[in-house]
Amino acid sequence: MLMAEFLTAIQHRLPVKIIISNDNALGQILWEQMVLGYPEHGVRYPEPFADYAAFATANGALGVKVGKPGEVKNAIRLALSHPGPALVDANVNPAEPPLPGKVEYEQAKNFALAFLRGQPKRATIATTVLKDRIQAAPLVINSTSVIPNVPGLLPAADPLLSAGRTGVLAPRHPPLDPGSEGRFSS
């Protein structure tokens, strides 16, 4: 939906609810440029993050700005309970790629090419991608360590792994504590 369409919803008092994942950039274009092998160009907005909630409020709709993960639940509750148009503007990590369920070889190759060609903020993006990959990996437990089972990280002929003294656990995603302002509980 474009903002002009949202203005139409406001004019006609339609109960449309919009949630924006605000990465302060033309996010899809940014990541498409990298997947095509090109460093991003002209797709990031200057700080501070754009405030689409203020736009909604200024034009007669309910606008709710979310700056922390712990605020999301209440913001969505407010928007859904509002009788007219509402917009939730949630700031998200701009270094978090919207990866598909399965990354194809060409996509990964072109992503790496974009980095080699001078992708701005490549260290931040690479750190975020690696951190996400490790957090999504199952844990491998053996008699001496607990490590993420990231393909290619463990040697194939590890005697502890082949000796049957290993347990593989489900992916570790700690539950979100609703009262923690978005911090994960342990």
> pLDDT tens digits, residue range 40-59?
888 888 888 889 999 999 99
pLDDT at residue 65 above 50? yes
Residue 181 in domain:
no
Cα 141–126–99 angle (5° rounding)?
Answer: 85
SS3 content of the chain, % helix, strand, coil (to 5): 35, 15, 45
More confident residue, 61 or 138: 61
- The domain total for the chain is 2
Distance CA 11, CA 91 (A): 26
User: Which residue is it, tokens 């899809």?
Assistant: 28
Same domain, 116 and 144: no
Strand partners, 87: 18, 63
Q: Which domain holds residue 156?
A: 138-171
CA distance 105 to 109: 6
Same-domain status, 146 and 132 = no
| 123 and 44, same domain (yes or no) | yes
Do 124 and 39 share a domain, yes or no? yes
Same domain as 146, residue 128: no
Q: Are residues 102 and 151 in the same domain?
A: no
Residue 17 sits at φ, ψ, to 5 deg, of -115, 130
Q: Is residue 43 part of a domain?
A: yes
Measured CA to CA, the distance from residue 100 to residue 168 in angstroms comes to 25
- Say if 60 falls within a structural domain: yes
Which CATH number goes with the domain that contains 44? Answer: 3.40.50.970
Most confident of 14-23, 112-121, 139-148: 14-23
Contact call for residues 139 and 149 (beta carbons, < 8 A): yes
153/88 same-domain check: no
Judged against a pLDDT cut of 90, whether residue 184 lies above it is answered with no
Please give the Cα distance from 184 to 150 (Å, whole number).
Answer: 22
Q: Report the SS3 class of residue 28.
A: helix
Residue 37 DSSP label: T
Q: Is residue 178 part of a domain?
A: no
For residue 185, being part of any structural domain is answered with no
Q: What percent of the chain has pLDDT over 90?
A: 30
Any domain includes 99: yes
Cα dihedral 20, 22, 25, 29 sign: negative
Q: What is the pLDDT of residue 9?
A: 94
Within a domain: residue 184? no
Q: What is the pLDDT of residue 101?
A: 63
Mean pLDDT over 124-137 rounds to 77
On whether both 88 and 102 belong to a single domain, the answer is yes
Nearest to 66 by CA among 28, 92, 46: 92
